[in-house]
């Protein structure tokens, strides 16, 4: 944040900045804080608190925000809607800010619409983008932004953070290692509001891995056919992708065991995680290419069952 403050103080801001980092590591929060700092510059004394509050609420007149949220993409119409008034002068300060959270979820058409503005932006424009990886953006868009990579704390540092808030224990340790130390993701996993739904998704992925470990093919098929739409299927594949590295490290004794409340089959440590990861990655690509959901579920049922014990594992 010191580097970013120095850029504000020196009035040497680029027209577009990208904060990249894994989900839950604070890229969006950082973008919001940075936007507030920019908009607070040169404002009358006593206005900072109002500006910060408006930025956090998304109601500041010189800030336009769009995020992917729970949706799978950001459309071209959404991008056009937030940039339509970028050429108008700011209402209060020197900058007008466009914040796109989850910019990697923009469709190619949306990214091209953004590119047209990035090529010749007005002097007062500042675009703040967040994404899990810069590779999700078109090379033409990427060439016009300054990138900042945000690294999460280590799982041990994350555990220490929550222990200081009275949230220690096995559940916290599990979540800290599962999410790679990303404090935001761990906080959501442990919260009363979002926690139950997130924990249910993890349990569904664990059930599938357990069925694969025990070669219960009918259960594998049932678990894969449970998602009723593409978003639910994508969520299941994402959870599997996140759990497989944990299972690898668990087999090596490098992470704590699954919490007792979770129904985790001990045999999952013997799965061929590399082969499974390969097939799950293929499934995610097929999903992005709008393949038929039922055909994907049938194909994955067979491919995952074969991959789970590939090489005699």
Q: How many domains does the chain have?
A: 2
Q: Can you give the CATH number for the domain in which 242 is found?
A: 1.20.120
Residues 22 and 127 in one domain: yes
Give the strands of the sheet with 16-20, arranged side by side: 63-67, 96-101, 125-131, 16-20, 146-149
CB atoms within 10 A of CB 311: 8
Query: Pick from 170, 123, 130: which is nearest to 150 by CA?
Result: 130
Residues 12 and 145 in one domain: yes
pLDDT in tens, 204-240: 999 999 999 999 999 999 999 999 999 899 999 999 9
Domain boundary among 125, 149, 173: 149
Residue 273 maps to a domain: yes
Residues 93 and 34 in one domain: yes
Residues 8 and 130 in one domain: yes
Residues 135 and 272 in one domain: no
Residue 180 maps to a domain: no
Residues 211 and 307 in one domain: yes
Residue 248 maps to a domain: yes
Q: Give me the average pLDDT of each 10-residue run along the chain (313 residues).
A: 81 92 87 92 83 91 86 86 89 91 92 94 94 92 93 90 89 92 90 92 92 93 94 92 90 86 78 94 89 94 94 64
Structural contact between residues 209 and 268, judged by C-beta atoms closer than 8 angstroms: yes
Q: Could you list the residue range(s) of the whole structural domain that residue 252 is in?
A: 192-312
Distance CA 18, CA 35 (A): 13
Contacts of 55 (CB under 8 A, 6+ apart): 32, 35, 36, 39, 63
Contacts of 87 (CB under 8 A, 6+ apart): 122
Residues 208 and 129 in one domain: no
Query: Pick from 266, 274, 283, 253: which is nearest to 214 by CA?
Result: 266
């Amino acid at each position: 944040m010191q580097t970013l403050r120095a850029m504000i103080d020196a009035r040497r801001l680029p027209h577009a900045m990208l904060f990249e980092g894994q989900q839950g590591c604070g890229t969006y929060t950082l973008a919001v804080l940075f936007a507030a700092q920019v908009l607070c510059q040169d404002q009358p004394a006593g206005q900072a608190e109002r500006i910060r509050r408006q930025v956090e609420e998304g109601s500041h007149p010189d800030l336009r925000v769009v995020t992917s949220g729970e949706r799978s993409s950001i459309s071209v119409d959404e991008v056009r809607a937030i940039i339509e008034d970028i050429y108008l002068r700011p209402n209060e300060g020197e900058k007008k800010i466009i914040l796109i959270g989850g910019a990697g979820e923009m469709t190619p058409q949306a990214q091209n619409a953004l590119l047209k503005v990035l090529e010749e932006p007005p002097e007062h424009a500042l675009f703040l983008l967040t994404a899990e990886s810069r590779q999700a953006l078109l090379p033409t868009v990427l060439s016009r932004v300054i990138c900042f990579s945000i690294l999460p704390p280590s799982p041990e540092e994350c555990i220490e953070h929550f222990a200081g808030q009275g949230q220690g224990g096995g559940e916290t340790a599990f979540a800290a290692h599962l999410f790679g130390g990303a404090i935001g993701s761990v906080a959501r996993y442990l919260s009363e509001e979002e926690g139950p739904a997130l924990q249910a998704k993890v349990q569904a992925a664990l059930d599938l891995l357990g069925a694969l470990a025990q070669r219960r093919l009918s259960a594998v098929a049932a678990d894969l056919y449970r998602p009723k739409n593409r978003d639910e299927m994508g969520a299941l594949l994402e959870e599997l992708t996140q759990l497989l590295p944990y299972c690898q490290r668990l087999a090596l004794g490098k992470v704590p065991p699954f919490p007792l409340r979770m129904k985790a089959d001990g045999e999952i440590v013997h799965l061929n995680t590399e082969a499974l990861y390969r097939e799950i990655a293929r499934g995610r690509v097929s999903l992005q290419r709008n393949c038929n959901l039922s055909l994907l579920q049938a194909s994955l049922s067979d491919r995952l069952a074969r991959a789970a014990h590939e090489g005699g594992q």
